[in-house]
Amino acid sequence: MDLRTRINTSVKQAMRDKDSARLSTLRLINAAIKDRDIAARGDGNEDGVADDEVLAILGKMVKQRKDTAKTYEEGGRLDLAERELSEIEVIEEFLPRPLSDDEVKGAIDAAVTETGASSIRDMGRVMGALKAKYTGQMDFGAVGGMVKDRLSNG
C-alpha cells in the first residue's frame, strides 16, 4: 500500500474513532502533500509527487514541530509543546524506521565508496546519494557533519 493510501485510510479510521487530535494532524499531512502536488503540476508533473517526496514532506513536518516544541518549552508553554510532540508521533507513523548510529555510519561509508568521493568538494554527491536512498530514515542536518568529517579525514 502506497503512502498516500495509508494516510487516507488513517484519516477515515480517525473519523470513525472520533479522534479529533489525530484527524487534525492527518489533515495537515494531506494539505502539505496537496500543496506540493499543485506545485508539481505547475512544473508539468500531472501525477503529483511520488512517495519519496512525500517522505521528505513528512520529515520536514517533523523537524518543524520539533523546533516549535522546543521554542514552546523555552517559553514555558508546555501545553503547546505537548501538542506539537503528539503531532510528531502521528507523522512518524508514516516514516520508515530511523537508522541507528552504526547503520548511518555504514550508509555514509557506502555512499562515499559508491560516489568515489575523495575530498570535501564531493560532499554534495555523497549527500545526494544518501538522500536518494535514506529519505525519512536519517537526520540530514546531523549527517552532513558526519560526511564532512569522513571526507576531511579520508
For residues 64-91, average pLDDT: 94
Q: What angle do CA 128, 53, 2 make, to 5 degrees?
A: 125
- pTM equals 0.73
C-alpha cell at 129: 546519494
Q: Say whether pLDDT at 25 is over 70.
A: yes
Q: Which fold has domain 101-153?
A: Arc Repressor Mutant, subunit A (1.10.10)
Q: Percentage of the chain with pLDDT > 90?
A: 40
pLDDT (0 to 100) of residue 122: 85
For residues 101-109, average pLDDT: 88
C-alpha cell at 33: 502533500
In this structure, what are the phi and psi dihedrals at residue 139, rounded to the nearest 5 degrees? Answer: -90, 105
Q: Where are the domains of the chain?
A: 3-92, 101-153
Q: Say whether pLDDT at 3 is over 90.
A: no
Single-letter residue type at 152: S
Exposed/middle/buried for residue 22 (C-beta within 10 Å: 0-12, 13-18, 19+): buried
In this structure, what are the phi and psi dihedrals at residue 151, rounded to the nearest 5 degrees? Answer: -75, -30
Instruction: Please report which confidence band the pLDDT of residue 69 belongs to, taking 50, 70 and 90 as the band edges.
Output: very high
Q: Taking the CA of residue 98 as centre, how many other CA atoms within 13 Å lie in the half-sphere pointing to its CB?
A: 10
Q: Which residue has the higher pLDDT, 70 or 150?
A: 70
The helix/strand/coil state of 124 is helix
Do 3-92 and 101-153 fold alike per CATH? no
Instruction: Say if domain 3-92 classifies as CATH 1.10.1510.10.
Output: yes
- What does the pLDDT look like over 51-66, one tens digit per residue? 888 888 998 899 899 9
pLDDT (0 to 100) of residue 70: 95
User: Distance (Å, rounded) from C-alpha 21 to C-alpha 43?
Assistant: 34
Nearest to 21 by CA among 76, 71, 82: 82
